Structure 1
Amino acid sequence: MRVAALLLGAGRGERLRHALPKALVPLDGQPLIAHALATLEATPEIDLVVPVVPESEQRAFESALAVLHDSGKRWPCVPGGVERQDSVAAGLRALPEDVGWVAVHDAARPRVRVADVSRVVAAAREAGAAILAVPAADTLKRVRDGLVVETPPRSECWAAQTPQVFAVDLLRDALGRAAAEGRRGSDCSQLVEALGAPIRVVEGDPGNFKITAPRDLALAEALRVTDS
C-alpha cells in the first residue's frame, strides 16, 4: 500500500501578523509551503503529496506551486476546512484507494528533514501510528485558573511535531469518532489516542519547529543562512 502525505496549509496564521496566508509567507525567497513540499517529495517512502489549502486562496496556492519543480508526486491542491481536523478529513477524501498510510505534516514546519520523515514512516508501518517529537527541555506545569495544579515528570513530557503517520483506516476512524462526539484535537495523534491505539514516538529534531509568530520566521531565516 502506498504512503501519502497531507501537507496542511489552510491556516490563516493571525499570530504571524502577515497579509498573506501563513503557508504563502516567504522564507528564503519561497513560500513556507514550498520548503516542506520539497522535503516530502524528496522522501523515498512518500509516494504522493496532497497540499491542503484555504478554499478562498486556492488559486493563489496553485499559482505559487506551479512554478516549483514537480517530482511527479504532487497532487492537485485540496480546499481545507475551518478547523485542522476538517482539513485532514478533506485531504483523506482526496486520496486514491491504494493509499494505506498517511503522513500529516504542517506546512508551517519548513525545516523538517528527509531522514526524520523516513524514520517516522517506518515506525508507523511497524506500530500502526507514529509521531515525531522532541523531549521537553523545560519543566512543564499544568495550570488552571492561573494556579499550578500539577508538575508532570519532565522525563515523561515530549513536544509533538509533524509528520504524524497513521494507517489510513485508523485515522479515518479517529476523525469519525471525534466528529460524532463533538471533540476537537490540537493534532491528529490526540484523536487517535482517544481510540486507545498505540502511537510510537520517534525522536525528531528541535529545528523542526512550527512557524507561529514573527520571531519564529526570523529564526528560520537565520538558520537558513547558517545551514548554507
Structure 2
Amino acid sequence: MGGVEVSVLIPAAGNGKRLGLGPKAFLRVAGRTLLEWALLPFGEAAEVLVALPPGTEPPGAFRATFLEGGRTRQESVARLLEAASLPVVLVHDVARPFVSRSLVHRVWEAARLQGAVAPVLPVPDTLVRPEGAQYGEVVPREDFRLVQTPQGFFTALLREAHAYAGKRGLSATDDAQLVRALGYPVALVEGERTAFKVTYREDLLLAEAVARVWNAWPRPR
C-alpha cells in the first residue's frame, strides 16, 4: 500500500459496554492498546483519522488525526467523513486488532475500482432458528456470510449514504448497510479468520494468544 491515496477512518469512541472494561480503544493486549494494533496495517496510508470518546486526551506518538466521536459508531464515522480529504476511504473497527496488510490492500483495490466493498467469511457453524429455548429449524449456512472490516468506499458515495440515513432516521451496524440503502451495490472480497472482533471478555484471551505469534504468522503481507 505504499503511497496509497486513501483516508483511513477508525471510529474508536465506544465505551466497551459489553466488555465492561472501559473504552475499547485503550484496552491493552500484549503490551499494546487495541487502537495501536488496529492502526498497524495502515502505516502507509496517506491519511488516518480516529474518533475518540468525548473528553479523551489524544494519545501521543501516533501518525493520525484525532477527532471527538459521536454517541454511536454511525455518528463517529459521519464526523470522520467530514474531515476526510481523499477520494477513497477505508472504515475499520478498533475492536479488530489483527488485520493483515494483504486484507487492507485487497479491500482498497476493490474499493477504488467498484466504489463499495466489504470483506466476508463463510459461516463455519450450524445455524438454527430457535423455537423458544428449543433447537429449531436449521438455516442453510451456505446462504450467509460474516461481515468484517475494513470496508472501502468512494468518499463521496459514503457521504451521500450517511446524509441519506440521517434524513430518514436509518441506523446500521456498519457502513455497507447504509450504502446498500441507497441502492448502490457492495462488492464482497475474502476476509480473514484472524480479523475477529473483540466483543466479550473471552475474546481478550484469544487476542492475547494471537498477539504472541502475530509477527511470525504464516500469512501474506
**TM-score scaled to structure 1, two decimals?**
0.86
**Shift in CA distance, 31/197, structure 1 to aligned 2, threshold 3 Å:** same
Corresponding position of 2:219: none
The aligned runs of 1:105-144 (5 Å cut-off) are: 105-141=92-128
Alpha carbon RMSD of aligned pairs, Å? 2.1
Residue 140 of structure 1 deviates from its aligned partner by 2.9
Distance apart, 1:144 and its partner CA = 8.7
Q: CA shift at 1:139, angstroms?
A: 3.0
2:172 aligned residue = 185
Go from structure 1 to structure 2 and tell me whether the alpha carbon gap of 1:56 and 1:146 turns closer, same or farther (over 3 Å shift): farther
Deviation at 1:222, TM superposition (A): 1.0
Instruction: Report the number of matched residues.
Output: 212
Going from structure 1 to structure 2, the CA distance change for 1:82 and 1:118 (only over 3 Å counts) comes to same
Displaced runs of 4+ in structure 1, greater than 2 A? 139-153
Residue 165 (structure 1) aligns with: 152
- In the alignment, structure 1 segments of 5+ residues that lack a partner are none
Q: 2:165 is aligned with what amino acid?
A: A
- Write out aligned runs for 1:3-14 (5 A): 3-14=6-17
Select the structure that is richer in helix. 1
Superposed counterparts of 1:78-117, under 5 Å: 78-96=67-85, 99-117=86-104
Distance change (3 Å), C-alpha of 1:127 and 1:223: same
**% identical equivalent positions:** 38
**What CA deviation, in whole Å up to 9, does each residue of 1:119-171 have, x standing for no partner?**
01101112111111111112334569778997553222110000010111111
Match of 1:21 among 23, 26, 51: 23
Matched, 1:210 2:212: no
Give the Cα separation in 1 of the matches to 2:111 and 2:65.
25
> 5+ unaligned residues in a row in structure 2: which ranges?
217-221
Separation (CA, whole Å) in 1 of partners of 2:137 and 2:50: 39
The residue number in structure 2 matching 1:54 is: 53
User: Using the alignment, how far apart are the partners of 1:37 and 1:47 within structure 2?
Assistant: 13
